[in-house]
Amino acid sequence: MGPNEPLLTAKEFASRSGLPVAQVTKMLRENKIEGHKQSGKWMIPASALENTGEAPPPAAPQKAAPAKTAPPVQAPRSMSVSEFSAKTYLTEAGVIQWLKNSRLKGTRTAGGEWRVDAASLELPAVKHLLRP
């Protein structure tokens, strides 16, 4: 981190990297991202964007060539709240709340247990919360 390097707040860093602010803050506390507190706010050097595997958004939209990808793995039709939570940065309580608010697709079993549809992993609001 050089003396003239531009610094980003956690919110600005999250916006540029596509990560949730809470995840950026957690990564700062775990020293996975270089940063320091200044006047009570996290300040992160702009070069740290390269260390997250995320690059700043391009200045102008560019048309990318289609990437060759492996065929998708067949996901189970539904999973338990704990299984879904393990695949994302949502807590079990958060998953249940999102199910109740219809932000996730799911059903309740006869025993009252929530089952989350695997298709919920593809929702735009969830994609950026997937664990690596």
- Residue that has been written with the tokens 């610094």 in this structure: 7
Please report whether residue 63 resides in a domain: no
Q: Let me know whether 47 and 82 are in one domain.
A: no
- Note down the domain range covering 93: 78-127
**Element holding 42 (H helix, E strand):** strand 41-45
pLDDT (0 to 100) of residue 116 = 92
Q: Let me know whether 119 and 84 are in one domain.
A: yes
pTM, full prediction: 0.43
Query: The tokens of 129 are what?
Result: 């919360």
Mean pLDDT by 10 residues, the chain (132 residues): 78 87 89 88 86 52 66 71 92 91 89 90 88 87
